[in-house]
Amino acid sequence: MPLHALTNGLTTKVVSSTHTLALHDEEQLVDMGAENAEGHENQTYAEEDEEEEDMTQWQPRKTLPDAYLPTYQNSRPPVVQYGLPVPTRTLEAYAEKLEAAGSFPPLNNSRRASPDFLAAHIGIYLRKQHGIRTGYAHANRLPEGTDILVQLCSNYSLRERGGVQRAEEAAELVKRELGLDPELRARWYGDRYWDSPRDYDDIAVWKRSFAWCS
């Protein structure tokens, strides 16, 4: 998985590339290889005073609890991602169709084996052709047989992306394009790098830097 090392003062933190983040420079993506809220719980996520939640055990869910929505009082909740779990082979098959039509970078063995590369470039295509924004995320507790989450929004970008209804509409389009099971439903998943906002003294810097908030 290609990771981006970000520096905050003297601390370097490796964070997930969820990410329309890389879509600002499509040429960089071409060179990327395989090596490389609808809940109403009315609570806030305690960042320091309470025992930290084990996000590796966070179960995928249909609705997002209010505690995970960033607010002025709760500015750095854990990162959770809303999306569709997809096998690498499904992404590869779709990329092959696009490649044959001249709409995808040439595939080689390393690119075929990289769900990050495939999902990122499929996201470029979907944005150009259908006007929807997707990214990819490495999430915990994906269903067996899937490798990556096609990300539709995060808890940090939910409002800016038009809310859950718009994300669900995007999910339906992605399912049709990729040939996914029509019964598959997008869910909220815990990001493997759920704590990355906490490395920044100024949360606005984090928001400007990552597709979760763009």
Tens-place pLDDT, residues 2-58: 333 333 333 333 344 454 433 333 444 444 443 334 433 444 444 444 456 788 889
Q: Which two tokens stand for residue 88?
A: 């690498």
Q: How far apart are CA 93 and CA 90, in angstroms?
A: 5
pLDDT tens for each residue of 184-194 = 999 999 999 89
Amino acid at 143: P
Q: What does the DSSP 8-state code read for residue 21?
A: G
6 contact partners, CB below 8 Å, separation of at least 6? 12, 13, 14, 15, 199, 209
Q: Which helix (H) or strand (E) holds 130?
A: helix 115-130
| pLDDT-derived band at 63, boundaries 50, 70, 90 | very high
- Which residues does residue 8 pair with via DSSP β-bridges, in sequence order? 11
pLDDT tens for each residue of 138-172 = 999 999 999 999 999 999 988 888 888 999 999 99
Q: Which two tokens stand for residue 207?
A: 């928001």
Q: Which helix (H) or strand (E) holds 151?
A: strand 148-154
User: Taking the model in full, what pTM does it have?
Assistant: 0.74
pLDDT tens for each residue of 64-88 = 999 999 888 888 999 999 999 999 9
| pLDDT-derived band at 206, boundaries 50, 70, 90 | low
Q: How far apart are CA 186 and CA 150, in angstroms?
A: 9
Phi, psi of 181 (to 5 degrees): -55, 125
Q: Which two tokens stand for residue 53?
A: 């939640």
pLDDT tens for each residue of 92-107 = 999 999 999 998 999 9
Q: How far apart are CA 34 and CA 129, in angstroms?
A: 26
Residue 40: how many other CB atoms lie within 10 Å: 9
Picking from 137, 92, 138, 94, the residue whose alpha carbon sits closest to that of residue 114 is: 92
